[in-house]
Structure 1
Amino acid sequence: MSSSNVHGPEFRETKKYQGNPSAPVADLFRLDGRTIIVTGANGFIGTTVAASILESGGDVVCLDVVETPTSSDWENVEASAKKHSGVVSYHQCNVRDVQGVADVFAKFAPALRHPIRGLVACAGVSDNGPSIEYPIASFRRLFDINVKGTFTVAQAVAKEVLEANVTASMVFVASMSGYVSNKGVDTAGYNSSKAAVHQLARSLAAEWGSRVGMPLIRVNSLSPGYIRTTATAEALQKPGMESQWVGDNMLYRLSTVDEFRAPVLYLLGDGSSFMTGADLRVDGGHCAW
């Protein structure tokens, strides 16, 4: 293969961000002067990530389908904003509603004190059931939220980044279930949707990392393993399920939500400046057996 630009003249070989060897290591995980969009912000990962972004110097716009945040951890988000002089706002947003997403962005974007330079797409749902009788409507709903919803918000963020002419980084929350099937539970639709999220991240990274006329937008995905939350508590009540889930990874335990703070901050920040189109799997070694 020659050293010429294999993508043709519509792609560039140079990037706006080439790395900064003089930057202190701590600054590589800082998000000062940036607004980060978090979808699914009322969920366990969403609230934890939002508080972490504020602690790292960024502002956060939280989006979720419920009218007002109901998470027991929401007060931690507000406390983090106050402690670190950050700005956090919450807006009801259904990621399945394309026009609704556009309307929400039009509402909050003009009032931001910092440009939008990041997205953490946490909005997603899980469902299970025997595939032989699983409703097509339920299968479609999984893809509407997990895949189309992720794309819709990513597209809205990219438009804002283009208008502001700044660099940005996106993190799509996928799952280790995009790689493997889950023992003991029938989740063909969910697994397929998360595999699609992996491919969506790679495809957008290819477009937005090197196209002429586009600011540099890095796109990566994050694949958590099993997380111990109140949402998984019911599944863990099934006889033998906890021992199976625990024994299915190399660390012989389930993860906790706080263990995804550092991976997300790494992907959002300049510390991952040469990382795009990749998946960061944080699964305790589940997929490495």
Structure 2
Amino acid sequence: MDPNARNPHPRLGHPSTSITDLFRLDNRTILIAGGGGAVGLEVAKSVLETGGDVILLDRAEQPLNTEGEWQRVQDAARQHQNQVLYYACDITDPSNLQRLFVGAISQTRFPLRGLVTCHGLSAGGPALDFPTSTLTKLLDVNVTGTFSIAQLCAREFQRTNSAGSIVLFASMSAHVYNKGVDTAAYNASKAAIVQLARSLAGEWGSRVGTQLIRVNTVSPGYIRTRQTAETLAEPGMDELWSEGNMLGRLSFADEYRGAVQYLLSDASSFVTGTDLRVDGGHTAW
């Protein structure tokens, strides 16, 4: 039976495709916002290892390389004969974002087929005293910036008539209160990302061009990165966060590669509007 029979929107992959090939990203370009940080660079390396090219956008002038993270990405690109491009970008500046996006796309070998947004701004403090100016900045980065880059990518999918997969990083903080820290504004911004993904998935799943655009979220748990180092240095905080999940430890940046690879690839061809929680069971108690 023709897998696309009676369906104007063809499925991705084919029953005869091997499970290994389903996870590959050959001849695709994947854009990663926040690509200069620990998680973004791990995702980039995975894309390069499975046949894709990568565009990295980040507010930092240079990618993270304190422990050779950027070097490993460059090594993967050379080893697999794929391309990685890096651009410093302010995702909250529409004209800057548009200009860099167009310039980056013009340098690619393959059509844009995926977006991962692992950029983000965190800010905490008692809600009674939390500055609304900080809230505005946080929402500009986490919500407006995410919407803007997703919109640009969806338009590019439509322009090239390409199927696309969008993976937005939310957080377990979108689903629960974080015991031990006051982060109401941040939590609200991540809850917005979960709802944004559902809404975009419904709108773009079958009504943008002739190709499918899938939109999903990943909700990470606590990650050991330079951003969390200061908080974890506070007495008892490492133990509190570790004991908050079912595995009794914090995660590392490389542990999100598999979830993102699944959602970007044809292995998740019938998955959209879904939140994949990679939190060690923190929200499952």
**CA 1:193–1:214 in 2, change beyond 3 Å: closer, same or farther?**
farther
- Runs of at least 5 residues in structure 1 that lack an aligned partner in the other structure: 1-11
Q: What count of residue pairs does the alignment treat as equivalent?
A: 278
2:99 maps to: 103
Matches within 5 A, 1:158-177: 158-177=154-173
Q: Name which of 59, 62, 71 aligns with 1:68.
A: 62
CA contact (8 A) 2:112 2:156 kept: yes
Contact 1:266 1:272 in 2 (8 A): yes
Asked if 1:56 corresponds to 2:30, the answer is no
Structure 2 match to 1:7: none
Match of 2:41 among 44, 47, 51: 47
RMSD of aligned Cα (Å): 1.3
Instruction: Map Cα deviations across residues 141-183 of structure 1 (whole Å, 9 max, x no partner).
Output: 1110011101100111111111110101010011000000100
| Native 8 Å contact 1:13 1:210 kept in 2 | no
Q: For 1:88 and 1:237, locate their aligned partners in 2 and report how far apart those are by CA, in whole Å.
A: 34
One-letter code of the match for 2:55? V
Instruction: Give the equivalent residue in structure 1 for 2:89.
Output: 93
Percent identity between matched residues is 52
- Report matched runs for 1:3-22 at 5 Å: 14-17=8-11, 19-22=13-16
The residue matched to 1:287 in structure 2 has which SS? helix
- Name the TM-score, length of structure 1 as normaliser: 0.93
On the 8 A contact 1:101/1:156 being kept in 2, the answer is: no
Q: Which runs of 4+ in 1 moved over 6 A?
A: none
Following the alignment from structure 1 to structure 2, what is the Cα–Cα distance between the partners of residues 71 and 166? 33
- After TM superposition, give the deviation of residue 70 of structure 1 in Å: 4.1
- Offset from partner CA, 1:202-245 (integer Å, 9 cap, x none): 11000110116353110000000011223212111222211111
1:77 aligns with 2:52: no
Residues 1-289 of structure 1 mapped to structure 2, 5 A cutoff: 14-17=8-11, 19-72=13-66, 73-211=69-207, 213-289=209-285
TM-score, L = length of structure 2: 0.94
